[in-house]
Amino acid sequence: MDCFQTNDIDELTGLKSLTYFQNNARKWIRNRLLNGNRVTVFYVNICGFRSYNRMYGFQAGNALLRRLANVLKIEFDGALLARNMADHFIGAVTNEDVQERFEKIHENMHLLQHNTTLELITGLYEVKDASETDNPDSVSVFLDNAFAAMKFIYDKPGVNTYWFDERLKSEAELKNYVIEHVDEAVEKGWIKTYYQPCVNICTGKLLQYEALARWDDPAYGLLAPDKFIPYLENAYEVYKIDFAVLENACRDIQEIMKKKLDPVPISFNLSRTDFEAADVIDQIVEISDKYHVPRYLLHAEITESAMNGDTEIMKKAIKRLHEIGCEVWMDDFGSGYSSLNTLKDYPFDVIKMDMVFLRNFDKKSEDIISSMTQMNKKLGFKTLVEGVETKEQMKALKDIGCDIAQGYLFSKPLPLCHGDGSIDNICSL
């Protein structure tokens, strides 16, 4: 008979705790595989649970979690089932028809809830061979894989279950590679800075460049930011990239100044996690001083989502950035949960409107950009619109009275040195 310590059990649902799962799943899975069973690890998340809690209260939320736990127990008799956290459930099961069973649960969601649009999404990972459990960390790997499969369908309405597949496998491999090699990439100069121009809409003249990261990897080739930034953000390590990009840019600006040319400012990206993981201000001061770059040439871009965290930290950071002489630009405004309060609370110099507004550019998007631009003006911010691809869009933005444009119409991001070795890219046009 099993003898459980209290922390082996999740009190709310009666399922096992995450700790128990982590300590015992490897042996459990190995034994089942050696006995000829098919073993699948799953990761279930209830989409919309937070709003459900808010709408119906915690008691109702807890009752829902207990109902789901019971459904899992009935459907997967004899399985190793646990609650990871909040509305995330995990498990190892031996059923051959695991996907069908989850689909049945999804179809019967009305049994779990009343009058809501809650959905379950489930990621599945099949452990094919007992040798996969040789690694002492194998349970974390299985859970990561099932989680990746769950996350893959997050933004795919109508898809409720997904198996971890080759594509997700190579993404997972890249993620591990990036996290393991970020220090080497910075040290060996694999992190490159590409520049994309921002143009004064009124005059059509170059105003500044945005510095954007590329990872030029000896094995994987040139990696775009979406192949490494999100993983490093999650690992709180993206500051390493951000400072490498800034350092490259400052080195480039110094080269231009040495040639007695006139550099234009550059903006560089900072992630929310930078402010938690590193001393951002000290780093900017150190890097800019090292290359004798005046700080009025440096504009820090901070995403709107960064403002959702600790407001005091961000307020202090923006104040300090201004004190050391950098402008502060808000990036991607309108892409997430925009809060107009953000505009009230933080003294930005420029608001960068996310390119979503230009994707299906119609009268409505024009009206939104127009209203935003008027409001920014009143608040003392300039408005930059990202993702400008056509002359028509440029004309509309000019008529609206936006200040700055950025997009493929002018140039995609490019490295500084062209084939002829010239460095005209970052000087005034």
Nearer to ligand C2E, 123 or 407 (CB): 407
Nearer to ligand C2E, 127 or 213 (CB): 213
Residue 242 interacts with ligand C2E (CB under 6 A): yes or no: yes
In this structure, what token pair is assigned to residue 174? 């890249």
Residue 332 interacts with Ca ion (CB under 5 A): yes or no: yes
Single out the residue of 10, 87, 237, 331 in contact with ligand C2E (rule: CB under 6 A). 331
In this structure, what token pair is assigned to residue 310? 């600790």
Least distance in angstroms from the C-beta of 398 to ligand C2E: 16
Q: Which stretch binds Ca ion (CB under 5 A): 47-55, 115-123, 159-167, 264-272?
A: 264-272
User: Would you say how long the chain is, in residues?
Assistant: 429
DSSP code for 9: B
In 10 A of CB 239, how many CB atoms? 21
Contact between 239 and 274 under an 8 Å Cβ cutoff? The reply is yes
- Cross-strand pairs, 328: 300
Residue 389 interacts with ligand C2E (CB under 6 A): yes or no: yes
- Name residues whose C-beta falls within 8 Å of residue 149's C-beta, 6 or more positions apart in sequence: 43, 123, 124, 125, 162, 163, 164, 165, 168
Residue 225 interacts with ligand C2E (CB under 6 A): yes or no: yes
Q: Which stretch binds ligand C2E (CB under 6 A): 50-58, 167-175, 288-296, 382-390?
A: 382-390
Q: Which helix (H) or strand (E) holds 242?
A: helix 238-258
Least distance in angstroms from the C-beta of 242 to ligand C2E: 5
Contact between 409 and 388 under an 8 Å Cβ cutoff? The reply is yes
In this structure, what token pair is assigned to residue 129? 């061979």
Single out the residue of 84, 113, 269, 342 in contact with Ca ion (rule: CB under 5 A). 269
Per CB under 6 A, which of residues 42..71 are in contact with ligand C2E?
none
Pick what 154 binds: ligand C2E, Ca ion, none; C-beta below 5 to 8 Å, kind-dependent: none
Least distance in angstroms from the C-beta of 269 to Ca ion: 5
DSSP code for 79: -
Least distance in angstroms from the C-beta of 267 to ligand C2E: 9
In 3D space, the residue among 316, 341, 346 whose CA is nearest the CA of residue 329 turns out to be 346
Q: Which stretch binds ligand C2E (CB under 6 A): 73-81, 111-119, 179-187, 380-388?
A: 380-388
Residue 278 interacts with ligand C2E (CB under 6 A): yes or no: no
Residue 224 interacts with ligand C2E (CB under 6 A): yes or no: yes
Q: Which stretch binds Ca ion (CB under 5 A): 49-57, 118-126, 177-185, 266-274?
A: 266-274
Single out the residue of 44, 213, 300, 351 in contact with ligand C2E (rule: CB under 6 A). 213
- Name residues whose C-beta falls within 8 Å of residue 409's C-beta, 6 or more positions apart in sequence: 388, 389, 390, 391, 393, 394
Nearer to ligand C2E, 9 or 186 (CB): 186
Nearer to ligand C2E, 257 or 355 (CB): 355
Q: Which helix (H) or strand (E) holds 247?
A: helix 238-258
DSSP 210-236: EEEEEEEETTTEEEPGGGTHHHHHHTT
Residue 10 interacts with ligand C2E (CB under 6 A): yes or no: no
- Cross-strand pairs, 122: 44, 161
Pick what 213 binds: Ca ion, ligand C2E, none; C-beta below 5 to 8 Å, kind-dependent: ligand C2E
Residue 217 interacts with Ca ion (CB under 5 A): yes or no: no
| Measured distance CA(134)–CA(56) in Å, rounded | 45
Residue 331 interacts with Ca ion (CB under 5 A): yes or no: yes
Residues near Ca ion (CB under 5 A), total: 5
Pick what 241 binds: Ca ion, ligand C2E, none; C-beta below 5 to 8 Å, kind-dependent: ligand C2E
**Alpha helices per DSSP H over 3-97:** 18-34, 49-56, 58-75
In this structure, what token pair is assigned to residue 341? 């309060």
In this structure, what token pair is assigned to residue 40? 């699948």
Single out the residue of 160, 271, 288, 376 in contact with ligand C2E (rule: CB under 6 A). 271
Residue 304 interacts with Ca ion (CB under 5 A): yes or no: no
In 3D space, the residue among 270, 218, 224, 282 whose CA is nearest the CA of residue 245 turns out to be 270
Single out the residue of 10, 144, 304, 332 in contact with ligand C2E (rule: CB under 6 A). 332
In 10 A of CB 151, how many CB atoms? 15
Q: Which stretch binds ligand C2E (CB under 6 A): 114-122, 176-184, 312-320, 384-392?
A: 384-392
In 3D space, the residue among 377, 378, 376, 353 whose CA is nearest the CA of residue 366 turns out to be 353
Nearer to ligand C2E, 72 or 388 (CB): 388
Q: Which helix (H) or strand (E) holds 91?
A: strand 88-93
One-letter identity of residue 25: A
| Measured distance CA(192)–CA(216) in Å, rounded | 7
Residues that bind Ca ion (CB under 5 A): 269, 301, 331-332, 386
Residues that bind ligand C2E (CB under 6 A): 196, 212-213, 224-225, 229, 238, 241-242, 245, 269, 271, 331-332, 355, 386-389, 406-408, 412-413
